[in-house]
Amino acid sequence: MTHLSIKALRHYHDVGLLEPAEVDRWSGYRRYDTTQVAVAQVIRRFRDLEMPVDEVRAVLTAPDGDRRNQIIAAHLERMEEQLEQTRTTVASLRRVLEARSSTVPIDYRSVPAITALAIRSTVTVSEFERWWVGAFQELHAALAAGSLRRGGPDGALYPGDFFELECAEVVAYVPLDGSGSGAPRPGRTELIEVPGADLAVLLHSGALEDMDQTYGTLGIHVVERGLGVDGPIREQYLVSPLDVEDPGDYRTEICWPIAGRTADPGD
Amino acid sequence: MTHLSIKALRHYHDVGLLEPAEVDRWSGYRRYDTTQVAVAQVIRRFRDLEMPVDEVRAVLTAPDGDRRNQIIAAHLERMEEQLEQTRTTVASLRRVLEARSSTVPIDYRSVPAITALAIRSTVTVSEFERWWVGAFQELHAALAAGSLRRGGPDGALYPGDFFELECAEVVAYVPLDGSGSGAPRPGRTELIEVPGADLAVLLHSGALEDMDQTYGTLGIHVVERGLGVDGPIREQYLVSPLDVEDPGDYRTEICWPIAGRTADPGD
DNA sequence: TTGCTCCTCACGTCACGTGAGGTGGC
DNA sequence: TTGCTCCTCACGTCACGTGAGGTGGC
């Protein structure tokens, strides 16, 4: 009647999602009520939509319709996001397979230490995008409201751990013109010093999903010259999602801090 | 550079998807070549699209571009199908939650044994839809080509196991007008006798994803009257996907073979 | 010499599916 | 009494993530 498998019914019993109306004390036989048919059918649809069992339980035990609809809407929204993600990945894959090798020049820069208005947080890769938007919106608002003046493009610091362990303390910042001391620091913002460094810089033009390509080009370049990494990777957002709609117009500088080394033979 | 996690790289080594260029004999340290960066980036994109590791490996080791594109296209097609499936499930969920209780009458019928042109196969639920379309197309073609005459609407037999174990021998058939003996039986088709039975019948109007609702209504009705199941469930396709485009126009009779029993007190 | 990085197990995750081996109910 | 159904473990699936505990390299 429900088109659920026996194994699924047993599992739903084990995890308490759909308890049989009666379980025989001696044989262990599960008996269900006819009223449970409708419940089972709803469960099946949510599971077909890959809603986690815990959430299905939450839907079924929701105290009221509002709460119930809220959980459902949240799940549908997540599915939409995932679909959007898939679309961008397909587009990115297509670009990679077409393999237009760009020949943007790699640039070397020595930058001095600067003061910046910053927000720092420990974030995972999965929650990163949302965090990024929120952090820069807050920084821009703080800048607009206060007496501080921008001294350069938006930037961020990513320790190597962030890409490798998928979780690390990341810093989003806006460089300031001057020391910025004495000004109020609202919300999560704080004043920090971004240290000076020698940077190998490569401009990435286009969607952020393709950025690993540029990372690859820059990384290979640096590795082949036997240059070590010295501190967190920096990104500078010359044209970002906050500025324009079309991802094709984004401009991001990837800055690889290098430690000059005596040249290695090979490796 | 690749934005792959360390754990992922180790896993890809273990399963032979991306072998390090060199593994230190003593420390076990993995070393990669700069040429592997691009490969890793491609791997990441395919994995982001949930392509199974085995298939990614097949793409990377494909003997030529044609074969490679074929694997990729097949995966993208599967994703499309899945998306379509999701859409229909969302629609079905919406209909269920709106819970319009239909009051289509349940009908009792005693049907005689008939001869039918049939295709029988052991199929799983997942491959069922494709099989169904293929089977009826072949049956219709055989009917059109031969001297046999249709004696009723398309039908199919489903043993209880099919819904519970997700895999069983299913029979698709076209009832014949007469015995059909002596006629050629091309391809997978064969002549069978569909036994007579007492049926409780409920008409399902609309999309096939909603059919469990009708199954539920019919099943509850039968169970509450203490009637036992006697043989495989039948479906009769009065208006099917082969006839019309809009799922809302489908008409399917669900036939529950019943064994008359002396009434039980309760249960 | 001290951290830091890399390593190897072994186990967890999630929602069931897959047997093996056993028993109840008609 | 014979099948058939239902049961309970225990383990497999898939692609890693999560520690624990240990070691190499600078």
CA pseudo-torsion sign A13, A17, A20, A21: positive
Q: What is the pLDDT of residue B263?
A: 38
Instruction: Please give the Cα distance from B259 to B229 (Å, whole number).
Output: 6
Protein residue closest to C17, using CA and C1':
A7
Work out the pLDDT band at A125, boundaries 50, 70, 90: confident
B266 CB neighbours strand C below 7 A:
no
Q: How confident is the model at residue A183 (pLDDT cuts 50, 70, 90)?
A: low
Note the CA–C1' distance, B256 to D3, in angstroms: 24
Mutate to test the interface with A, among B164, B210, B214 (most CBs of A within 10 A): B164
Residue A4's Cβ-side half-sphere holds a number of Cα atoms within 13 Å equal to: 25
Question: From the CA of A201, how many Å to the C1' of C10?
Answer: 43
Name which of B108, B100, B263 is nearest B200 in CA terms.
B108
Task: Report the relative pairing of strands B167-175 and B114-124 from DSSP bridges.
Answer: antiparallel
Mean pLDDT for A57-84 is 93
Q: Cα A137 from chain centroid?
A: 16
What's the confidence (pLDDT) of residue A61?
A: 93
The reported pLDDT for the residue numbered B264 is 36
Whole-number average pLDDT of chain A: 89
For residue A100, what are the contacts with CB-CB under 8 A and spacing of at least 6?
none
C16: residue with closest CA to C1':
A8
pLDDT value of position B147: 83
Residue B5 CA, nucleotide D21 C1', distance (Å): 21
Instruction: Say yes or no for a CB contact (<8 Å) between A49 and B93.
Output: yes
What pLDDT digit, counting tens, does each position of A221-257 carry?
A: 888 887 877 888 999 999 999 999 999 999 999 999 9
Q: Is the pLDDT at A196 greater than 70, yes or no?
A: yes
Shortest-distance nucleotide from B11 CA to C1': D16
Report, as ranges of residue numbers, the positions in chain B whose pLDDT lies below 50.
Answer: 261-267
Helix (H), strand (E) at residue B173: strand B167-175
Has residue A262 got a pLDDT over 60? no
Q: What is residue B262's predicted lDDT score, i.e. its pLDDT? A: 37
The minimal CB distance from A79 to the residues B41, B86, B213 is found for: B86
Res A26: pLDDT: 87
pLDDT: which is higher, A113 or A262: A113
- At a CB cut-off of 8 Å and minimum separation 6, what does B57 contact? B16, B17
pLDDT reported for residue B102: 67
Lowest mean pLDDT among A74-78, A204-208, B180-184: B180-184
The pLDDT, as a whole number, for residue B231 is 84
**pLDDT at residue A100 in the model:** 67
Average pLDDT value for residue range A181-191? 80
Are residues B191 and B228 in contact, defined by beta-carbon separation less than 8 angstroms?
A: no
- Residue range A85-119, pLDDT digits in tens: 999 999 999 988 886 666 778 999 999 999 999 99
pLDDT of residue A200: 93
Q: Determine the pLDDT at residue B267.
A: 31
**Rounded mean pLDDT of A123-135?**
88
| pLDDT score, position B163 | 78
Name the pLDDT band for A264 (thresholds 50, 70, 90).
very low
> Which of B101, B104, B12, B92 has its CA nearest to residue B60?
B12
